[in-house]
Chain A
Amino acid sequence: MNKTWNNKAWWMVLPVVLLVAFSAVIPLMTVVNYSVQDTFGNNQFFWAGLQWFEEIVNSERFHAALGRQFLFSGIILLIEIPLGIFIAMNMPTKGWAISICLVLMSLPLLIPWNVVGTIWQIFGRVDIGLLGATAAKLGIDYNYTRDIGDAWFTVVIMDVWHWTSLVALLCYAGLQSIPQAYYQAARIDGASKWAIFRYIQLPKMRGVLLIAVLLRFMDSFMIYTEPFVVTGGGPGNATTFLSIDLVKMAIGQFDLGPAAAFSLVYFLIILLLSWVFYTVMTNLDKQGQ
């Protein structure tokens, strides 16, 4: 039987092509376009080559923001991943308490970034905030608008409050999928609690942990709204993370060329690091095969 060739079916793909073009390809290409040009206004652009890229890669301002960004993502991963595992392991496994626990833990995840920022901005205020005012009453010197340490503390705790639930819920799902026979076998083998964690629970959670680490890394590396609402990047530039710096450069100073180059470098860093995380963790998995 002869097959009929009808290339008209390709038209079916058109909506997706258009959608992706308008949502991703064209905006990204616009940024690429800006990144290699310079302008002195009047909508007149000149070819600038890789000048902006060289400038960004060598700029101290970028290095500082990148350093702060790594520090922030590192700290919140170091807190949220172990804490999430710990919470998941201590969550109830049967009865009505499960539902209550799940709902309570999901709540922070449902709050918009902007609102989270506002909540913590007010929560930490020394004059009226529950945290700030209580600390002041107790004689603790806490002020996130003045002190760098306090600002970092507030931003980190806010992220932990907002996102640890996600890690915990993922780990909980991972733990629930371990068949009871594993625990029974471990008891028969006389395994300690630590050994059960190390040799059963942790290996079985590896898949969800990979997702948790990737999600939390990418999200925290791109964080903007919450620290912007709470500290505005201050005091000074102490909590100016990459995206805050980028917005300052692009919209505050209207340096479109450097900002575009900044965006692309930023994007490539996230892409590269996510790929590294993914490769390392899946390779760890494969070693077992």
Chain B
Amino acid sequence: MAEIYLKKLAHSYLPNPQKPEDYALKEIDQVWEDGKAYALLGSSGCGKSTLLNIISGLLTPSQGQVLFDGKDVTHLPTEQRQIAQVFQFPVVYDTMSVYDNLAFPLRNRKQDEATIKARVTEIADMLELTGDLKKKAQGLTADAKQKISLGRGLVRQDVAAILFDEPLTVIDPHLKWLLRMQLKALHQRLNRTMIYVTHDQTEALTFADQVVVMYDGYVVQMGTPQQLFEQPEHTFVGYFIGSPGMNLLPVQVDGNTAQLNGRSIPLNTRYAPKNSDKLELGIRPEFTQLSTTESAHSLPVTIRRIEDIGRHKIARADYQGKEINVVVPEDQSVSTDYKYLTLDPNYIHLYANGWRLKQEAAA
């Protein structure tokens, strides 16, 4: 178990990176605490696998250091790093039994059979694999194989962190949820640092204490699921997390009002953006409200479509050609007669070139 410090870390696959675009992973400087569950979330090609491979030791970063509990492991090979990894596709040793699979990492480390037996039995029990111990690993289902992969990491007492590289990709949907819950329970029981790479926001948000959202090589935000929801630091976080994602509308800002195609919207604080910035107003569909009557700062809209998805309804509203999604609670009615939209000023964020604007310094 260990704390992971990613010190001024960056990586480029090119030999002589010059521009920021040359870097697959832009410089980060973060401490990941011991025993917590982290999720690396982002779409394909955002650099999350690069970061994972640097932590696991398959890649040597072109810049910066990786420290486990203060010990520099940047140049240590994978096998000496005390990490375990579960891959996208289940990796089991086909010809061995489940027991031998779980014992394999310990046997390679020359532990005695009595210790191995105790350890394997304990882990198999934890993973609910006890009944399969004598079976060959080859014939098992994908989820059982993934559990074996995980088990091979768990049997080792010295593992500093367990890495998961989209481990549920090949699992049936109804088992995904079950396995995710088991993982979460295991994490709470074992208190080991876990790092979970995924492009599925539900997986990330349900599994992790801290979600690290990556976009185009940047770590755009690290925070709890709630922080990501209420205060996205980047427009990418806004629309990637949440269903539907955050509404983004181009605006002009003057002090504490935003101008949206001739309508002014009050803001809670004052902002002082640069003129060159591309400004956007962001608000989650959950914090917008439709009504039949006009009020002080409401926007006149037309409802294009209403989708009932069970827990709530989503109204697709049109404001001068821009689509705004509105989440309507199940117990409220909505129809095309609802022609006015209000935005909750407490949850309005302003973004300049994609990044969240901080309020103007009190002068």
Contacts and interface: CB of A to CB of B under 8 A. Distances in A.
Nearest to A198: B95
A288 B79 contact: no
B96 interface: yes
Contacts of A204: 94
B96 A199 contact: yes
Say whether chain A's binding surface is mostly helix, strand, loop, or mixed: helix
Interface residues of B, number: 26
Interface string B95-123: 11000000011001100000000000000
A182 B91 contact: yes
Contact of A181 (B89, B104, B153): B89
Contacts of A287: 136
B95 A185 contact: no
B105 A190 contact: yes
A185 B149 contact: yes
A189 interface: yes
Residue with the greatest number of chain A CB neighbours at <10 A, chosen from B78, B87, B95, B96: B95
B93 interface: yes
A204 B78 CA distance: 23
Contact of A203 (B91, B94, B105, B109): B94
Interface in A155-193: 179, 181-182, 184-185, 187-192
Given A184-B78, A288-B139, A199 B87 contact: no
User: Most chain-A CB neighbours within 10 Å: which of B77, B138, B139?
Assistant: B138
A184 B91 CA distance: 10
Contact of B91 (A181, A288, A289): A181
A189 B96 CA distance: 14
A140 B91 CA distance: 53
B152 interface: yes
Interface residues of A, number: 19
Contacts of B77: 187
B39 interface: no
Contact of B94 (A189, A190, A192, A288): A288
Nearest to B77: A187
Contacts, number: 59
A182 B90 CA distance: 9
A195 interface: yes
Nearest to B97: A288
B85 interface: yes
A264 B178 CA distance: 61
B83 interface: yes
Nearest to A200: B93
A188 B165 CA distance: 14
Given A288-B138, A288-B139, A289-B138, A188 B95 contact: no
Interface string B52-93: 000010100000000000000000011100011101110101
A236 B85 CA distance: 64
A289 to B, nearest CB: 4
Interface in B129-155: 136, 138-139, 149, 152-153
B79 A187 contact: yes
Nearest to A185: B91
Contacts of B108: 189-192, 195
A285 to B, nearest CB: 9
A289 B138 CA distance: 6
Contact of B136 (A179, A199, A288): A288
A189 B79 CA distance: 7
Contacts of B139: 288-289
Contacts of A184: 56, 58, 78, 85, 87
Most buried by A among B77, B94, B96: B94
A189 B152 contact: yes
A190 B78 CA distance: 9
Contacts of A189: 104-105, 108, 152
Nearest to A189: B105
A191 B58 contact: no
Given A181-B88, A182-B91, A187-B79, 17 more contacts: A179-B89, A181-B91, A184-B56, A184-B85, A185-B85, A187-B77, A188-B56, A188-B84, A189-B152, A191-B108, A192-B108, A199-B95, A199-B96, A199-B104, A203-B95, A288-B138, A288-B139
18 contacts: A181-B87, A184-B85, A185-B149, A187-B79, A188-B83, A188-B153, A189-B104, A189-B105, A189-B108, A189-B152, A190-B105, A190-B109, A191-B104, A195-B108, A203-B94, A203-B95, A288-B94, A288-B95
